């Protein structure tokens, strides 16, 4: 058939008309699916099905138009309709009306959709356009539907385990538990929560535990459209809980079209223990660890030890033990001498049992830098933890706060600190340390003040942010504002270090009597609780006694209080002591000047 005859035949058989009409009606159906389906909470897979059906149907419609023709006698094969008969048939203009009306409706739906999306974005404070990553998720607290309220630890533990498995997938952005805990399981305003957390998708759920039977109910929701993407109910025995958690994590990753590497597939299906009693004890340990008080950390240590007694090869329980001991002195529940050796031993045992535990590598990094002063090894441990769990906000935070700041690698420290805040946007400590530790030690005081004010907006009662803010004001020469912030910190918490900051500020403001009262109080406190040598050094520096200040820092070094000393080369609060021979000798023990100069370039 000649090409001219072919196109004439296409016209005669109405193929052109069918193609145009099909395209317009198909576009109309796509607009209906994309704009109307979400309103009725119809899942996204239904939209994809409609689009796919329209695409597949297009060539089928053209083939039918070529092969058949509609006549007054009905549908007949085109070959059976003579040219003369076809020519005598009256011209039909119905297809033109279909095209025009379909095009008008399609265009209307298209612009209504765009306008409503822009308007929603403006009203919710979000810029128009995709500001949230599609492959991002926040796991909200699971409701405890058990009759026994003491089973709250189990619901929280299941939520935490699912989150931890998801966090190991590099292609996903997973919001840390610290930020999600303030929301209830089935909140009313999902778009607002999505904006606060920086996550497009929300996992809600509930857990009911009766003896050895467990029911887990979960649903995955697009927070911006309220579309339910997936839901499932699992009724299993307690011994099958790891399989449930793995299946939930894998299904979510598949639903969000996240790419999993071979090692990630293995890690999210791993069974950490075969002993259900050990698992429950571990969950209780994490429940109290998450409360972050000295007394609760002691309870966590007890439960982790009980879990280990039930299963001596339970690597995660050793990691929990290391996590608890490593921050015990930070919360005034022990001296570094009485907690860091135990943390070091627990982290080493965890890695001996399972070298793929991000938590154990992070604890090792936390010890290696601030306490062992092995900063390169500390960085390597944190990098390994992040490689194993890219969404581990605490590893990013500790890497930023610890070795990178100590070595004056501030650009990278700020980058890691911002990543920690991105993954855990409502974490008070992550936000506060970015301002009061990283920006402060980088001597970028204006940025420190701005970041700390953001932290105080999240929780005005977070004392640490107030005394960090006081530091920044003090180094900017705004001593009156600094004292006001230190006073707020002392009113909110009885931390001896906060009191020491207030005391040294009084001394520098010529209120020496007030400063002496605080010094006497700290000396009395030291008889019954741990008061750091760094806190005493602050007081003595404020009072102008450099020798006693250095004595106090040397005592801190002997006590293993590396948490206070590891930033000795960059801490602006210690500037009064620089060039003092004893101080420089102490700094050389912590971070040799040659190593510091080569690392900070």
Which tokens hold the place of 283? Answer: 């969950």
Give one word for 525, left, alpha or beta, with left for phi > 0 and alpha for psi -120 to 50: alpha
| Rounded-to-integer distance, Cα 414 and Cα 421, Å | 11
Mean of per-residue pLDDT scores for the chain: 87
Q: Compare 39 and 138 and report the one with higher pLDDT.
A: 138
Are 100 and 17 in contact, with CB atoms under 8 Å apart? no
Q: Is the four-CA dihedral 335, 339, 344, 350 of positive or negative sign?
A: negative
More confident residue, 75 or 257: 257
The whole-number pLDDT of residue 151 equals 82
Summarize pLDDT for 370-399 with one digit per residue, the tens. Answer: 999 999 999 999 999 999 999 999 999 999
Between strands 74-77 and 68-71, the pairing is: antiparallel
Mean pLDDT for the stretch of residues 554-579: 95
Average pLDDT of span 357-364? 94
Interatomic CA distance for residues 157 and 238, integer angstroms: 13
Q: Which two tokens stand for residue 529?
A: 């609780």
Sketch the domain layout of the chain as residue ranges: 3-123, 136-271
pLDDT in tens, 496-509: 999 999 999 999 99
Helices and strands in the chain, H and E counts? 31, 8
Query: SS3 for 201?
Result: strand
Angle 479-492/463-475 helices, nearest 10 degrees? 160
Q: What is the pLDDT of residues 324-359, one digit of tens each?
A: 999 888 877 888 888 999 999 999 999 999 999 999
pLDDT tens column, 303-314? 999 999 999 999
521-533 pLDDT per residue, tens: 999 999 988 889 9
**b/e string for 220-251 if b means 16 or more Cβ within 10 A?**
bbbbbbebebbeeebebebeebbebbbbbbbe
Q: For residue 210, what pLDDT is reported?
A: 87
Q: Which residues are within 8 A (CB) of 109 and not within 5 positions of it... i.e. 6 or more apart?
A: 28, 31, 32, 35
Q: How confident is the model at residue 118 (pLDDT cuts 50, 70, 90)?
A: very low
Tell me, what's the pLDDT at 13? Answer: 60
Closest CA to 131 of 45, 189, 197, 175: 197
- Percent of the chain with pLDDT strictly greater than 70: 84
The pLDDT of residue 96 is: 62
CATH of domain 136-271: 3.40.50.10070
Please list the alpha-helical segments (H only) found in 124-168.
152-167
């Amino acid at each position: 058939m000649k090409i001219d005859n072919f196109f004439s035949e296409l016209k005669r058989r109405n193929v052109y008309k069918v193609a145009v009409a099909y395209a317009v009606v198909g576009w109309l159906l796509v607009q209906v699916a994309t704009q109307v389906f979400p309103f009725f909470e119809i899942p996204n897979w239904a939209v994809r099905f409609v689009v796919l059906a329209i695409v597949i149907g297009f060539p089928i419609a053209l083939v039918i138009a070529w092969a058949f023709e509609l006549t007054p006698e009905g549908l007949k094969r085109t070959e059976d309709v003579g040219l003369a008969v076809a020519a005598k048939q009256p011209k039909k203009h119905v297809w033109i009306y279909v095209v025009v009306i379909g095009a008008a409706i399609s265009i209307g739906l298209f612009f209504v959709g765009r306008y409503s999306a822009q308007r929603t974005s403006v009203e919710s404070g979000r810029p128009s356009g995709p500001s949230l990553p599609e492959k991002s998720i926040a796991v909200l607290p699971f409701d405890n539907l058990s009759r026994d309220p003491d089973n709250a630890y189990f619901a929280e533990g299941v939520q935490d385990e699912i989150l931890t498995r998801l966090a190991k997938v590099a292609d996903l952005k997973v919001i840390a538990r610290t930020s999600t805990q303030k929301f209830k399981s089935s909140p009313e305003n999902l778009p607002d929560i999505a904006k606060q957390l920086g996550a497009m998708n929300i996992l809600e759920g509930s857990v009911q535990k009766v003896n050895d039977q467990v029911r887990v109910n979960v649903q995955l929701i697009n927070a911006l459209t309220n579309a339910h993407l997936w839901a499932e109910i699992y009724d299993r025995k307690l011994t099958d809980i790891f399989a449930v958690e793995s299946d939930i994590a894998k299904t979510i990753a598949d639903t969000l079209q996240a790419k999993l590497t071979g090692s990630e597939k293995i890690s999210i299906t791993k069974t950490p223990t075969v002993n259900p009693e050990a698992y429950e004890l571990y969950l209780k340990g994490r429940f109290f660890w998450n409360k972050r008080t000295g007394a609760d950390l002691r309870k966590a240590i007890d439960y982790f030890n009980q879990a280990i007694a039930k299963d001596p090869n339970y690597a995660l329980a050793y990691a929990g033990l290391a996590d608890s001991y490593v921050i015990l002195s930070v919360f005034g529940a022990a001296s570094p001498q009485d907690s860091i050796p135990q943390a070091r031993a627990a982290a080493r045992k965890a890695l001996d049992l399972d070298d793929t535990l991000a938590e154990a590598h992070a604890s090792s990094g936390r010890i290696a830098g601030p306490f062992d002063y092995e900063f390169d090894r500390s960085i390597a441990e944190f990098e390994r933890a992040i490689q194993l769990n890219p969404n581990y906000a605490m590893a990013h935070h500790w890497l930023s706060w610890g070795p990178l700041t100590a070595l004056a690698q501030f650009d990278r420290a700020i980058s890691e600190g911002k990543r920690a805040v991105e993954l855990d946007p409502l974490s008070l400590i992550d936000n506060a340390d970015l301002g009061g530790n990283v920006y402060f030690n980088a001597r970028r005081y204006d940025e420190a003040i701005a970041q700390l004010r953001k932290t105080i907006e999240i929780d005005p009662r977070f004392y640490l942010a107030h005394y960090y803010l006081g530091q920044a004001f003090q180094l900017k020469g705004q001593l009156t504002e600094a004292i006001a912030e230190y006073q707020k910190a002392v009113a909110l918490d009885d931390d001896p270090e906060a009191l020491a900051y207030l005391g040294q500020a009084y001394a520098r403001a010529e209120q020496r009597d007030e400063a002496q009262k605080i010094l006497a109080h700290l000396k009395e406190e030291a008889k019954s609780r741990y008061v750091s040598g760094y806190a005493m050094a602050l007081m003595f520096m404020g009072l102008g006694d450099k020798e006693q200040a250095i004595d106090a820092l040397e005592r801190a070094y002997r006590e293993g209080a590396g948490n206070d000393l590891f930033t000795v080369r960059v801490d602006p609060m210690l500037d009064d002591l620089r060039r003092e021979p004893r101080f420089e000798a102490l700094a050389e023990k912590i971070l040799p000047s040659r190593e510091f100069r080569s690392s900070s370039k």
